[in-house]
Chain A
Amino acid sequence: MGRSVALPGAASVAPVTDPTLAAAVHRAARGQRLTALLLVGPLLLLLLFSFCFPIASLLGRAIYDPTMADSLPRTAAALQAAPDGVPPDPVFAALAEDLLAAKQDNSLYAVAKTLNSLLPAARSHVLRAGRFLQPGQPATRESMTGADPFWGEPDTWFAIRHGVQRFTTTYLLAAIDLRWLPDGGIGQVPEGEAIYRAVFVRTFLVAAAVTIATLILGFPLAWMLANLPNRLSGRLIMLVLLPFWTSILVRTAAWTVLLQKYGLLNDLLLWLHVSSDRFDLMYTRTGMIIAMTHIQLPFTLLPIYSAMRTLQPSQMRAAYSLGARPFTAFRRVYLPQVMPGVAAGALLTFILCLGYFITPALVGGPADQLISNFISNYINVELNWQMAAALSFILLALTLALYGLFTKLLGVDRLKLV
């Protein structure tokens, strides 16, 4: 892969005819490849152990859920032969046996909970069946639907059929507001329940807005900091780093104090006669983006600043002395060289914004929950880790795809941005 990139180095010396030279070049290339691998290796190994394995096994739950398959083995087997829809008597008998066995080893609740996430309100029906079914009395379709009509619904059996499969795409589909239809196709979830696509779009839009805001605010400041005398810029950089010592919780709390209706910002605007009325900034998207921009600004600014710092001022002077207008010199000489820094800063801020959940919760409005709020709710409150894994998987896939697209479109690879 790397060989196709034409860059200064031994491999681009072509064509090589002398066999011993060719071998030497080949050896040198291999040596370089080895060095590169050895440099990347330690972090890669550390991440494989401390991050990749743990995450992969958790994200795997998005498609692997053995709960129902393990607890309802007879039902699963009997369903194989049964036609679609509500199955015949033998399946009911198998289900009754399974449910009673599950009640015995206390896994009935887990079955109820899993089925409940596939079919709302199924939980109490499963538990009720655990109560009305009697050992030794073979159940039939008639006896079970008589005790609880729930078991005669085609929807119920559709959910069970899906639930008893160990490998499932149900959660992944649900994470993008899709579902399996009884006819085997894939369709939209009902309108009132469709939510995640909108949340993903919202999350990416908010991240983009904050990234752009930090660029507009940060780029000129980075430029000034990089061009001031060392001593002064050093001190100002310390000011930029100062927020890092304050917890994000405190910074968010500070913004609630500033943004609230009778808060400092509204007081200031009134005093300056900018407006005669108090603004609703708290619990709005605008307020949330302001607070997030504040928290993210150093993350965008510092990489740009470091790229500008490494630049030789003589290059600009050379451009001027060659007769370039300041704007031309800036666009043709300066910008291309600081572009990697801009891309790095924007990338960091954009990705970090995707993970926000404290600031949206405390400053954002009703429709401002980002995807991390939902994932955290599934982990902590619903204990539905399958759904949390599915949402995270989609987020990871979307972000990596976007990153790939970004590097391709902008040709960042050519800019040598890693």
Chain B
Amino acid sequence: MLLSPYATLGDRLRIGVLIGWCALVLAFLVLPIFVPVPLSVNSEAFFTFPLAGFSWRWYEEVLGSDQWREAIWHSIVIAIGATVLATGLGTLAAIGLTNPRLPARRVIMGILISPLIVPVVITAVGAYLFYARFGLASTFSGIILAHTAVASPFVVVTVGASLANFDRALMNAASICGARPWTAFRRVMLPAILPGVLSGAAFAFVTSFDELVISLFLASADQRTLPMQMFTGLREHLSPAITAAATLMMSLSIVLLIVADRLAHRGRRD
């Protein structure tokens, strides 16, 4: 797959260099993520190597406290809510935007990506002042709404990019063949743009899951999120408990991904 069937020795060499480069980039991307793992069992409260000693104390702190568990749960719920909304509405909007007949396209596009540009602290204060009027401050709905706003541009941009290569004539063809619009979308368009939709969804998820500033304004103690819990000690002390929490989240996601991988593989074999 990586080589054209007519590859020469030089091509092979070039591919070798490329693979080496990609391995390095992958290492740059992934290795730093594992730095917190050894730190999470450090007996000392500092981020330094070599470790002073081994201890489970940070795991006890995270797993033993309701606050941490609740915070993780809240963050997952909010992130899923925001991801679903942003991905659904964002995908529709991207399809509409790529239609050349849409009036005022550039203006609409400017509006749709502006949540990315406005500094998040401005969004947070503005959202609080406005949402409080509707009783949406200190509610899950309020946080999800604000997170959807800042997460949706990711979906619009990534889905828009993958639609750029999509030939709209295919949709006409589908409708000529008698497919209803929904069927045409599901069977023709969606498979073609799926990688873009999934990337957008991943961005939307991480944007909400890792969002701190808006939560600081819109969440009260009942909606405390994981980033809020992580930042709480920063004035005092950057507690290695955050490395334990990070290690737990990563292990959880790796397990989930492996399970999904296995299931998908088994499904294919059957």
Contacts and interface: CB of A to CB of B under 8 A. Distances in A.
Interface of A: 1-3, 5, 7-9, 11, 29, 32-33, 35-44, 46-47, 49-55, 57-59, 217-218, 220-221, 223-224, 227-229, 231, 234-236, 238-251, 253-258, 262-264, 267, 294, 297-299, 302-303, 305-307, 309-311, 313, 316-317, 320, 326, 337, 340-341, 343-345, 347-348, 351-352, 354-355, 371-372, 375-376, 379-380, 385, 388-389, 392, 395-396, 399-400, 403-404, 407, 415-418
B102 A306 contact: no
Chain B interface bracket (under 10, 10 to 19, 20 to 34, 35 or more): 35 or more
Contacts of A248: 210
Interface of B: 1-2, 4-6, 11, 18-19, 21-22, 25-26, 28-30, 32-33, 35-36, 39, 47-49, 85, 89-90, 92-106, 108-123, 125-127, 129-131, 145-146, 148-150, 152, 154, 156-158, 160-166, 168-169, 192-193, 195-196, 198-199, 202-203, 205-206, 209-210, 213, 226-227, 230-231, 238, 242-243, 245-246, 249-250, 252-254, 257, 261, 265
Given A50-B146, A244-B206, A303-B158, A257 B98 contact: no
Query: Most A CB atoms within 10 A — which of B111, B131, B199?
Result: B199
A221 B23 CA distance: 8
A355 B119 contact: yes
A195 to B, nearest CB: 17
Contacts of B6: 320
Contact of A400 (B110, B120, B157): B110
13 contacts: A8-B169, A9-B168, A39-B92, A47-B112, A51-B149, A55-B123, A244-B205, A248-B210, A257-B35, A348-B203, A372-B121, A418-B109, A418-B161
Contacts of B257: 238
A43 B146 contact: no
A347 B161 CA distance: 11
Contacts of B89: 42-43, 46
Nearest to B34: A254
A36 B92 contact: no
Given A46-B148, A247-B210, A416-B98, A57 B231 contact: no
Contacts of A354: 117
Given A9-B100, A257-B49, A344 B121 contact: no
B165 A33 contact: no
A348 B157 contact: yes
B122 A59 contact: yes
Given A220-B18, A299-B203, A340-B162, 10 more contacts: A37-B102, A43-B156, A46-B152, A262-B48, A306-B162, A307-B162, A310-B193, A355-B119, A375-B119, A418-B157
A47 B161 contact: no
Contacts of B213: 376
Contacts of A239: 26, 29-30
A40 B48 contact: no
Contact of A310 (B125, B154, B195, B238): B195
A237 to B, nearest CB: 9
Contacts of B29: 239-240, 243, 294, 297-298
B33 A305 contact: no
A2 B121 CA distance: 36
A242 B30 contact: yes
Contacts of B95: 39
A221 B26 CA distance: 8
A221 B21 CA distance: 8
Contacts of A244: 202, 205-206, 209-210
A360 B265 CA distance: 43
A255 B99 CA distance: 43
B199 to A, nearest CB: 4
A243 B36 CA distance: 12
Contacts of B245: 247, 250
A42 B93 contact: yes
A241 B2 CA distance: 23
A227 B252 CA distance: 29
A306 B91 CA distance: 15
A29 B119 contact: no
Contact of B158 (A245, A247, A344): A344
A172 B169 CA distance: 48
A371 B156 CA distance: 26
Interface centre among B100, B113, B227 (most CB of A within 10 A): B100
Contacts of A50: 127, 145-146, 148-149
Given A3-B101, A246-B36, A264-B35, A241 B202 contact: yes
B94 to A, nearest CB: 6
The 3 closest A-B pairs by CB, nearest first: A39-B96, A306-B195, A418-B160
A305 B158 CA distance: 10
A348 B206 CA distance: 14
B250 A242 contact: yes
A306 B196 CA distance: 5
B203 A302 contact: yes
A255 B29 CA distance: 12
Contacts of A47: 111-112, 115, 149, 152
Contacts of A351: 113, 116-117
A396 B120 CA distance: 12
A380 B117 contact: no
Given A343-B161, A396-B117, A415-B164, A58 B110 contact: no
Contacts of A224: 2, 18-19, 22
A255 B114 CA distance: 30
Contacts of B243: 250, 253
Given A224-B22, A303-B157, A396 B102 contact: no
Contacts of A267: 49
Nearest to B94: A418
B143 to A, nearest CB: 11
B122 A40 contact: no
B7 to A, nearest CB: 8
